[in-house]
Protein backbone atom coordinates (compact mmCIF):
# COMPACT_ATOMS: atom_id res chain seq x y z
CA UNK A 1 0.00 0.00 0.00
CA UNK A 2 1.33 3.42 -0.92
CA UNK A 3 0.97 6.16 1.64
CA UNK A 4 0.00 9.58 0.35
CA UNK A 5 2.58 12.06 1.57
CA UNK A 6 1.42 15.58 2.41
CA UNK A 7 3.62 18.09 0.61
CA UNK A 8 4.13 21.53 2.11
CA UNK A 9 3.29 24.27 -0.40
CA UNK A 10 6.46 26.22 -1.15
CA UNK A 11 6.27 29.94 -0.30
CA UNK A 12 5.53 32.22 -3.26
CA UNK A 13 8.32 34.13 -4.98
CA UNK A 14 8.29 37.89 -5.70
CA UNK A 15 8.06 37.20 -9.44
CA UNK A 16 4.73 35.42 -8.94
CA UNK A 17 3.22 38.25 -6.93
CA UNK A 18 0.73 40.64 -8.52
CA UNK A 19 -1.49 43.50 -7.40
CA UNK A 20 -5.23 42.88 -7.26
CA UNK A 21 -8.27 44.67 -5.92
CA UNK A 22 -9.06 43.29 -2.42
CA UNK A 23 -11.71 40.61 -2.54
CA UNK A 24 -13.33 37.91 -0.47
CA UNK A 25 -11.23 35.35 -2.40
CA UNK A 26 -8.27 36.18 -0.11
CA UNK A 27 -10.25 36.58 3.12
CA UNK A 28 -8.83 33.57 4.99
CA UNK A 29 -5.27 34.36 3.97
CA UNK A 30 -5.73 38.06 4.90
CA UNK A 31 -7.14 37.12 8.32
CA UNK A 32 -4.20 34.72 8.86
CA UNK A 33 -1.86 37.61 8.02
CA UNK A 34 -3.61 39.83 10.58
CA UNK A 35 -3.13 37.04 13.14
CA UNK A 36 0.62 37.09 12.34
CA UNK A 37 0.63 40.80 13.17
CA UNK A 38 0.37 42.18 9.63
CA UNK A 39 0.16 45.98 9.57
CA UNK A 40 0.41 48.61 6.93
CA UNK A 41 2.52 51.69 7.48
CA UNK A 42 2.82 52.85 11.06
CA UNK A 43 -0.51 51.56 12.33
CA UNK A 44 -0.24 49.02 15.17
CA UNK A 45 -1.36 45.43 14.47
CA UNK A 46 -5.02 44.70 15.19
CA UNK A 47 -6.01 43.06 18.47
CA UNK A 48 -7.66 39.58 18.45
CA UNK A 49 -11.13 41.03 19.01
CA UNK A 50 -10.69 43.44 16.07
CA UNK A 51 -9.42 40.62 13.85
CA UNK A 52 -12.47 38.51 14.72
CA UNK A 53 -14.69 41.46 13.72
CA UNK A 54 -12.88 41.81 10.37
CA UNK A 55 -13.33 38.06 9.71
CA UNK A 56 -17.04 38.23 10.60
CA UNK A 57 -17.83 41.38 8.62
CA UNK A 58 -15.25 41.07 5.89
CA UNK A 59 -17.14 42.76 3.09
CA UNK A 60 -18.14 45.68 5.31
CA UNK A 61 -14.48 45.97 6.36
CA UNK A 62 -13.39 46.18 2.71
CA UNK A 63 -16.07 48.74 1.91
CA UNK A 64 -14.93 50.85 4.86
CA UNK A 65 -11.25 50.60 3.81
CA UNK A 66 -12.00 51.67 0.25
CA UNK A 67 -14.47 54.45 1.16
CA UNK A 68 -13.34 57.84 -0.11
CA UNK A 69 -13.41 60.29 2.76
CA UNK A 70 -14.13 63.96 2.17
CA UNK A 71 -11.89 65.45 4.83
CA UNK A 72 -9.02 64.47 7.10
CA UNK A 73 -8.62 65.99 10.56
CA UNK A 74 -5.00 66.76 11.42
CA UNK A 75 -3.50 66.82 14.92
CA UNK A 76 -4.61 70.17 16.34
CA UNK A 77 -7.97 69.94 14.57
CA UNK A 78 -7.14 71.50 11.20
CA UNK A 79 -9.18 69.93 8.41
CA UNK A 80 -7.70 69.17 5.02
CA UNK A 81 -9.26 67.84 1.85
CA UNK A 82 -9.04 64.05 1.39
CA UNK A 83 -7.65 62.69 -1.88
CA UNK A 84 -8.75 59.73 -4.03
CA UNK A 85 -7.24 56.53 -2.65
CA UNK A 86 -7.16 53.02 -4.08
CA UNK A 87 -6.40 49.90 -2.11
CA UNK A 88 -4.47 47.00 -3.68
CA UNK A 89 -3.35 43.65 -2.36
CA UNK A 90 -0.19 41.85 -3.30
CA UNK A 91 -1.10 38.19 -3.78
CA UNK A 92 0.26 35.01 -5.32
CA UNK A 93 -2.31 32.30 -6.01
CA UNK A 94 -4.50 32.12 -2.91
CA UNK A 95 -1.91 33.74 -0.64
CA UNK A 96 -2.29 37.30 0.63
CA UNK A 97 1.20 38.82 0.85
CA UNK A 98 0.84 42.54 1.46
CA UNK A 99 -1.10 45.72 0.91
CA UNK A 100 -0.65 48.98 -0.94
CA UNK A 101 -2.67 52.10 -0.27
CA UNK A 102 -2.24 54.43 -3.21
CA UNK A 103 -3.06 58.14 -2.99
CA UNK A 104 -3.69 59.45 -6.49
CA UNK A 105 -2.56 62.96 -5.67
CA UNK A 106 -0.98 64.89 -2.83
CA UNK A 107 -2.42 67.53 -0.54
CA UNK A 108 -0.47 69.78 1.85
CA UNK A 109 -0.34 67.20 4.57
CA UNK A 110 0.59 64.23 2.35
CA UNK A 111 3.36 66.34 0.86
CA UNK A 112 4.82 66.60 4.37
CA UNK A 113 3.98 63.17 5.74
CA UNK A 114 2.64 60.09 4.01
CA UNK A 115 3.29 60.79 0.35
CA UNK A 116 1.59 58.82 -2.40
CA UNK A 117 1.81 55.31 -0.94
CA UNK A 118 1.50 53.28 2.25
CA UNK A 119 2.42 49.60 2.24
CA UNK A 120 3.14 46.55 4.34
CA UNK A 121 4.12 42.90 3.95
CA UNK A 122 2.86 40.12 6.24
CA UNK A 123 5.49 39.16 8.84
CA UNK A 124 5.94 35.54 7.70
CA UNK A 125 6.97 36.72 4.20
CA UNK A 126 9.16 39.71 5.08
CA UNK A 127 12.76 39.80 3.94
CA UNK A 128 12.14 37.86 0.70
CA UNK A 129 11.87 40.78 -1.71
CA UNK A 130 8.09 41.28 -1.59
CA UNK A 131 8.30 44.85 -0.24
CA UNK A 132 10.59 45.78 -3.14
CA UNK A 133 8.26 44.05 -5.60
CA UNK A 134 5.21 45.80 -4.12
CA UNK A 135 6.69 49.27 -4.59
CA UNK A 136 7.86 48.35 -8.12
CA UNK A 137 4.25 47.44 -8.98
CA UNK A 138 3.05 50.69 -7.33
CA UNK A 139 5.27 52.55 -9.81
CA UNK A 140 3.52 50.81 -12.72
CA UNK A 141 0.15 51.75 -11.21
CA UNK A 142 1.29 55.36 -10.77
CA UNK A 143 2.42 55.54 -14.37
CA UNK A 144 -0.90 54.07 -15.49
CA UNK A 145 -2.82 56.97 -13.93
CA UNK A 146 -0.44 59.53 -15.42
CA UNK A 147 1.92 60.43 -12.56
CA UNK A 148 5.55 61.09 -13.41
CA UNK A 149 6.92 60.98 -9.86
CA UNK A 150 6.03 59.37 -6.55
CA UNK A 151 6.63 60.85 -3.12
CA UNK A 152 7.33 58.08 -0.60
CA UNK A 153 8.03 58.70 3.08
CA UNK A 154 9.30 56.46 5.86
CA UNK A 155 10.48 56.98 9.40
CA UNK A 156 14.18 57.22 10.01
CA UNK A 157 13.99 54.15 12.26
CA UNK A 158 12.51 51.96 9.49
CA UNK A 159 15.60 50.81 7.55
CA UNK A 160 13.71 48.02 5.75
CA UNK A 161 11.31 50.54 4.22
CA UNK A 162 14.17 52.90 3.34
CA UNK A 163 15.91 49.99 1.54
CA UNK A 164 12.72 49.20 -0.38
CA UNK A 165 12.38 52.84 -1.49
CA UNK A 166 16.05 53.16 -2.45
CA UNK A 167 15.94 49.86 -4.38
CA UNK A 168 13.12 51.44 -6.41
CA UNK A 169 15.12 54.53 -7.32
CA UNK A 170 14.09 56.77 -4.40
CA UNK A 171 16.20 59.91 -4.03
CA UNK A 172 16.23 61.41 -0.55
CA UNK A 173 14.76 64.92 -0.60
CA UNK A 174 15.03 65.73 3.12
CA UNK A 175 14.33 64.50 6.65
CA UNK A 176 11.52 66.36 8.42
CA UNK A 177 9.68 66.08 11.73
CA UNK A 178 6.61 63.88 11.29
CA UNK A 179 3.56 66.10 11.80
CA UNK A 180 1.92 63.14 13.57
CA UNK A 181 4.72 63.03 16.13
CA UNK A 182 6.40 59.83 14.87
CA UNK A 183 9.90 61.34 14.89
CA UNK A 184 12.21 62.08 11.94
CA UNK A 185 10.67 61.20 8.60
CA UNK A 186 12.59 60.59 5.38
CA UNK A 187 10.98 62.03 2.22
CA UNK A 188 12.00 60.43 -1.08
CA UNK A 189 11.02 61.18 -4.67
CA UNK A 190 10.95 58.38 -7.22
CA UNK A 191 11.01 59.67 -10.80
CA UNK A 192 8.99 57.41 -13.11
CA UNK A 193 10.27 56.57 -16.52
CA UNK A 194 7.64 56.05 -19.24
CA UNK A 195 8.10 52.29 -18.80
CA UNK A 196 8.17 52.60 -14.93
C1 LIG B 1 8.94 47.75 5.11
C2 LIG B 1 8.46 46.40 4.61
C3 LIG B 1 7.27 46.60 3.68
C4 LIG B 1 9.58 45.70 3.85
O5 LIG B 1 9.07 44.50 3.29
P6 LIG B 1 10.01 43.28 2.92
O7 LIG B 1 9.21 42.31 2.17
O8 LIG B 1 10.69 42.78 4.14
O9 LIG B 1 11.06 43.99 1.97
P10 LIG B 1 12.20 43.32 1.04
O11 LIG B 1 12.38 41.90 1.43
O12 LIG B 1 11.86 43.63 -0.38
O13 LIG B 1 13.48 44.20 1.36
C14 LIG B 1 13.80 44.61 2.61
C15 LIG B 1 15.18 45.22 2.56
O16 LIG B 1 15.38 45.77 3.83
C17 LIG B 1 16.44 45.12 4.47
N18 LIG B 1 16.08 45.03 5.88
C19 LIG B 1 15.11 44.30 6.45
N20 LIG B 1 15.10 44.52 7.78
C21 LIG B 1 16.12 45.40 8.02
C22 LIG B 1 16.63 46.00 9.19
N23 LIG B 1 16.07 45.79 10.39
N24 LIG B 1 17.70 46.82 9.05
C25 LIG B 1 18.25 47.07 7.85
N26 LIG B 1 17.78 46.54 6.70
C27 LIG B 1 16.73 45.71 6.79
C28 LIG B 1 16.56 43.78 3.79
O29 LIG B 1 17.85 43.23 3.94
C30 LIG B 1 16.28 44.18 2.36
O31 LIG B 1 17.40 44.84 1.82
P32 LIG B 1 18.21 44.24 0.56
O33 LIG B 1 17.21 44.20 -0.57
O34 LIG B 1 19.31 45.21 0.32
O35 LIG B 1 18.65 42.90 0.99
C36 LIG B 1 8.05 45.45 5.79
O37 LIG B 1 9.13 45.40 6.69
C38 LIG B 1 6.79 45.89 6.52
O39 LIG B 1 5.69 45.57 6.10
N40 LIG B 1 6.97 46.59 7.65
C41 LIG B 1 5.81 47.03 8.46
C42 LIG B 1 5.03 48.15 7.80
C43 LIG B 1 5.91 49.27 7.32
O44 LIG B 1 6.86 49.66 7.99
N45 LIG B 1 5.55 49.80 6.14
C46 LIG B 1 6.29 50.89 5.49
C47 LIG B 1 5.86 52.20 6.06
S48 LIG B 1 6.73 53.52 5.26
Q: Where are the beta strands (DSSP E) in 41-162?
A: 71-73, 79-81, 85-92, 95-103, 117-121, 149-155
Is the pTM higher than 0.85? The answer reads yes
The answer, yes or no, to whether residue 43 has pLDDT greater than 90, is no
Domains contained in the chain, CATH given: 14-191 (3.40.630.30)
Distance CA 150, CA 189 (A): 6
Closest ligand 1 atom to residue 40 Cα is 42
Residue from 116, 120, 118, 65 nearest 98 by CA: 120
Q: Tens of pLDDT along 121-167? A: 999 999 999 999 999 999 999 999 999 999 999 999 999 999 999 99
Residue ranges lining ligand 1, Cβ < 6 Å: 39, 41, 119-121, 126-132, 154, 158-161, 163-164, 167
The residues, any chain, with a CB within 8 Å of residue 78's CB and separated by 6 or more, are: none
Ligand 1 centroid, distance to 128 Cα (angstroms): 9
Distance CA 190, CA 167 (A): 10
Distances (CA, A) of 83 to 30, 108, 111, 165, 175: 26, 11, 12, 22, 24
Closest ligand 1 atom to residue 152 Cα is 48
Site to substitute for ligand 1 among 117, 127, 167, 172, most atoms within 8 A of C-beta = 127
Query: What percent of the chain shows pLDDT beyond 90?
Result: 71
The answer, yes or no, to whether residue 4 has pLDDT greater than 60, is no
Region 72-99 average pLDDT: 86
Amino acid sequence: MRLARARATPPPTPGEARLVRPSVRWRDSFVAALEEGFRRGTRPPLRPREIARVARHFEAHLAERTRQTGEIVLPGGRRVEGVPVSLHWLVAGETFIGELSFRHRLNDYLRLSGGHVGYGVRPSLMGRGFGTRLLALAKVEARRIGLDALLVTCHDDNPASARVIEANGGVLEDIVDDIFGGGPLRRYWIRLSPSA
